[in-house]
Chain A
Amino acid sequence: MTDLPHSPEQPVAAAKPSRWRNFWRSDIVWSYRRSPVTIVASIVATLLILMAVFAPWIAPYNPFNPATLNLMDGFTPPGGASYSGNNYLLGTDNQGRDVFSTIMYGSRVSLFVGVLATLFAMVVGVGLGLVAGYVGGVFDAIIMRVADVQLSFPAILIALLIFGVARGLIPPNQQEGAAVWVLILAIGLANWAQFARTVRGATMVERQKDYVAAARILGVNPLLILLRHVLPNVVGPVLVIGTIGLALAIIEEATLSYLGVGVPPTQPSLGTLIRIGQQFLFSGEWWILLFPAITLVLLALSVNLLGDWLRDALNPKLR
Chain B
Amino acid sequence: MLAFIARRLAQSVVVMLVVAFIAFLVFRYVGDPVSSMLGQDSTMADHEALRERLGLNEPFYVQFYHFVTNALQGQFGISYRLQQPVSQLIMERLPATIELAFASSIIALVLGVGLGIYTALRQRTFGTGVIMTLSLIGVSLPTFLIGIGLIYIFAVELKWLPSFGRGQVVDLGWWRTGLLTESGLRSLILPAITLSLFQLTLIMRLVRAEMLEVLRTDYIRFAKARGLSQRAINFGHALRNTMVPVITITGLQLGSVIAFAIITETVFQWPGVGSLFVNSVAVVDVPVMAAYLVFVALVFVVINLIVDILYFIVDPRLRDGAKSGR
Contact = CB atoms under 8 A, between A and B. Distances in A.
Establish whether A and B are touching in the complex (CB under 8 Å): yes
Interface of A: 1, 37, 136-137, 140-141, 145-146, 148-149, 151-154, 156-157, 160-161, 164-165, 167-169, 197, 201, 204-205, 207-208, 236, 240, 244, 247-248, 251, 254-255, 258-259, 271, 274, 278, 281-282, 293, 296-297, 299-301, 304-305, 308, 311, 317-318
A208 B317 contact: yes
Contact of A297 (B137, B201, B262, B301): B137
Interface of A is mostly: helix
B263 interface: yes
22 contacts: A145-B11, A148-B15, A148-B301, A151-B252, A152-B299, A152-B300, A154-B260, A154-B262, A157-B259, A244-B205, A247-B139, A251-B140, A251-B142, A255-B143, A258-B142, A258-B263, A274-B142, A278-B145, A282-B152, A300-B139, A318-B212, A318-B213
A240 B14 CA distance: 31
A251 B201 CA distance: 15
A205 B139 CA distance: 30
A301 B25 contact: no
B152 A271 contact: no
Interface string B125-157: 000010011001101111111001000100000
A293 B152 CA distance: 16
B326 interface: yes
Contacts of B18: 145-146, 149
Contacts of B321: 136, 204, 207-208
A165 B263 contact: no
A1 B214 CA distance: 10
B216 interface: yes
Contacts of A293: 141, 145
Contacts of B260: 154, 156
B133 A301 contact: yes
Nearest to A164: B30
B255 interface: yes
Interface string B58-97: 0000000000000000000000000000000000000000
B173 interface: no
Interface in B106-141: 129, 132-133, 136-137, 139-141
B111 to A, nearest CB: 17
A247 B121 CA distance: 27
A121 B137 CA distance: 23
Contacts of A204: 318, 321, 325
A137 B326 CA distance: 4
